[in-house]
Amino acid sequence: MTKLSVNINKVATIRNARGNNVPNVLKVALDIEKFGADGITVHPRPDERHIRYADVFDLANEVTTEFNVEGYPNKKFMDLVLSTKPHQVTLVPDPPEVLTSNAGWKIKNNLSLLQESLAEFKKAGIRTSVFMEANLKDIEELALIDVDRAELYTESYASGYQKNREEAIAPFMDAAKLASEMGVGLNAGHDLSLENLKYFSDSIPNLLEVSIGHAFVADALYYGFEKTVGMYKNLLK
């Protein structure tokens, strides 16, 4: 069964709006685990506008399911990950000013950066993943790096789902097949939701993990965290 990792960035956004510790990010993460999620994902950005670097240390000490930390591999991020040693690190090509992740890696254009940072993480025993678009040319470039997994950037699937879900999923099925043939494990994330998750999961049989944040937290405002975890988990069966 595909694992559900919940991205709690939006919980931190709500907390930061008032400058105190409500909601408590650590407590929310531990509750989400208790309710049955398979992991917790965070994406600390340089301006700490949601998840703070201190949060990552707190979470690393307490999270008992899979802990996944996402980010751009600059020195500050690498030092953070190597200090906290999460179960998985997912590298994304985000410049500091972007609102949310909006593109996958072009590996050839960033080859030395990726090779060097991935080698450091692997040496520390951390599972590695890179954020990739469902483009066969880009997926082929995974052969240039030593990486455990690729996280497919699913925004185009989510935006095309209502109009034509078969057309929207097709490039992801092709990318998943190629990555699997290359021996690279598959994760996925970005704009997956209660509406579109089941069809995606059913169509990608070798999908190991999905990371869901914005839609999950929005749903939890209506249903509560416990029920929302169960709803997403049921779609992944």
Which residues are designated catalytic?
Answer: 43, 70, 190
Angle at 90 between CA 31 and CA 216, to 5 degrees: 35
CA atoms in the 13 A half-sphere facing the CB of 128 = 24
Phi-psi region of 83 (alpha: psi -120 to 50; beta: other; left: phi over 0): alpha
Taking alpha carbons only, the member of 45, 43, 103 closest to residue 69 is 43
**Tokens representing 174?**
């092709």
DSSP string, 121-168: HHHTT-EEEEEE-S-HHHHHGGGGS--SEEEEE-HHHHHHTTT-HHHH
DSSP helix/strand/coil, 187: strand
- Report the amino acid identity of residue 29: A
Q: Is 65 helix (H, G, I), strand (E, B) or coil?
A: coil
